[in-house]
Chain A
């Protein structure tokens, strides 16, 4: 899922300083699962903003909504009947959701309440970790299901580098396991170490961000 973290409350209050009547929009998608931008977080953030603004002597009116997904047009459209009655939308969806709401409501400022951080997994309740950088050219079949792009700090394709510690940690931080140590151990367990002995060609980054903003068109679905 796409992971996000709420911005510091003071940063959010600064963004809202020009406004007295806003929509606070959550999303039932990824950010609900990572406990950053779902209905519960809408209620908590809404209360915090109202309390802070009232304490400052500038009460704010907040309409709290949580859309099914902010990245799909039919759900974003559900805000149309009332959005023009508000000065701004504070979205606590991921960056895609914030931008899609902004695209649909051209005359309403849309503000980000979250910092979108990575595509990742829930390791356990309250702990999330990055697993994918959406590079557009998956090689997980060669690397034992562990991504060298996302799990190696340098995104090396033929690792490990000389910065790996004796304990198999990354030189960037002892809290980061060396991605290539993980790959090698996994390939050994799978009896697929032959994969490691192959030199992987340099990665082409055109499928990633180097090719500019990406788009997928499925002709069979657009009819």
Chain B
């Protein structure tokens, strides 16, 4: 699903899970973190860049924290610029819509 987002034109993907130790699915968020790590490695290997995907953890009540994480991610991706795929597609440096 993460890779599909990149295929569909995303320049970065943030994966948000619940707080570690406080997941309704017990270890679901820990497993998700491991899988996100694997995808990041794969993105590095194919020249897209593993820093374009990151997992964040927060609770449903932490709206302010979510906004801060989202801003951090957007700023990081903006600094990285478009993926090589989007450069090839002619997207160039595009503004990330909030």
A residues within 8 Å of B by Cβ?
8-10, 13, 44, 47-48, 50-52, 54-57
Contact = CB atoms under 8 A, between A and B. Distances in A.
Contacts of B29: none
B45 A54 contact: no
Nearest to B87: A55
B46 A55 contact: yes
A44 B7 CA distance: 11
9 contacts: A9-B45, A44-B3, A47-B6, A47-B7, A48-B3, A51-B48, A55-B46, A56-B47, A57-B88
Given A47-B4, A55-B48, 20 more contacts: A8-B45, A9-B42, A9-B45, A13-B46, A44-B3, A44-B42, A47-B3, A47-B6, A48-B42, A51-B3, A51-B6, A51-B7, A51-B46, A52-B47, A52-B48, A54-B85, A54-B88, A55-B46, A55-B47, A55-B84
A48 to B, nearest CB: 6
Interface of B: 3-4, 6-7, 42, 45-48, 83-85, 88-89
Contacts of B85: 51, 54-55
A124 B3 CA distance: 27
Contacts of A48: 3, 42, 46
Contacts of B46: 9, 13, 48, 51-52, 55
A212 B97 CA distance: 63
A10 B4 CA distance: 19
Contacts of A55: 46-48, 83-85, 88
A48 B4 CA distance: 9
B87 to A, nearest CB: 8
Contacts of B48: 51-52, 55
A14 to B, nearest CB: 12
Contacts of A50: 7
B66 to A, nearest CB: 27
Nearest to B45: A9
A50 B3 CA distance: 10
Nearest to B3: A47
B53 to A, nearest CB: 12
Contacts of A13: 46
